[in-house]
Structure 1
């Protein structure tokens, strides 16, 4: 995580040196500093920095896709003449173990319409999720495990 901060700092230094804080110049500075950090990765103990950055971008892209899909589903549910909803809370067994991974997963679930992270068990092994339509809790568990949780594990392994 420290390399991300270094990368952002280097991008800001790039913008200061060039005298332009435009978005495309900041993005160019960020990419340039990522390339530099990739070249000196052994010296800064960041062997998988670029790979991890690409995985993080993949996680971010997946979040936006899931956000759009779930917003559409909720819109269809709300606008349908017969709202046949079965709201409920289900327990999701966690495979991520670190606190920031659990927090990130809970936030991603909460930010997608139709779901809300309610609580985490004391031992940190179960996340309780409220779903607007909980007709298929096993399917919801599978979607979370194969989606957000898998991407988080890939990104921060």
Structure 2
């Protein structure tokens, strides 16, 4: 419904541009939220959309922040004369259980410069990750578990 209303907005304004679509999407999201406020309770499955969309947007911004931070760290290491790398392979215990959750987590880690998902254990309880800048293994594991994995599990569960 949200996308349909956003495309109706584009048709009414006659301007097919990304910023116009995003404005129409935000406007129709707000209108749908206002209409559905009085319908159903907080646990109603029809209201789940209004909980998930802000989490997805927050997740996208978190990923972009981590991506920018990792790019700057790798670029700084390449530009400077001193080598700041401390490479290593770390075992990360997984709370993610389904194939989708593990695959998404591994891909998010690999998309971030300086990290690469190597393998998943046979029982799917551990993800092996290579990192370029591992000064403290516990902090590295905590950053992945409390960053990507926690936010990803909030979206998929």
TM normalised by structure 2 equals 0.80
Residue of structure 2 in register with 1:3 after alignment: none
Residue of structure 2 in register with 1:76 after alignment: 76
Residue of structure 1 in register with 2:123 after alignment: 123
Cα distance between partner residues in 2 of 1:25 and 1:19: 10
- Cα distance change on mapping 1:102 and 1:13 into 2, 3 Å: farther
Matched, 1:26 2:3: no
Q: Secondary structure at the match of 1:16?
A: helix
Q: Secondary structure at the match of 1:119?
A: strand
TM normalised by structure 1 equals 0.80
Unaligned runs of 5+ residues in structure 1 are: 1-5
The Cα shift of 1:47 comes to 1.9
Aligned residues: 151
CA RMSD of aligned residues (A): 2.4
Q: Secondary structure at the match of 1:95?
A: coil
Cα distance between partner residues in 2 of 1:28 and 1:72: 31
The Cα shift of 1:84 comes to 4.7
Unaligned runs of 5+ residues in structure 2 are: none
Cα distance between partner residues in 2 of 1:130 and 1:18: 49
Contact 1:52–1:156 (CA under 8 A) maintained in structure 2: no
Residue of structure 1 in register with 2:138 after alignment: 138
Give the 4+ runs in structure 1 shifted more than 6 A: none
- Please say which of residues 44-53 and 93-102 is displaced more in the overlay: 44-53
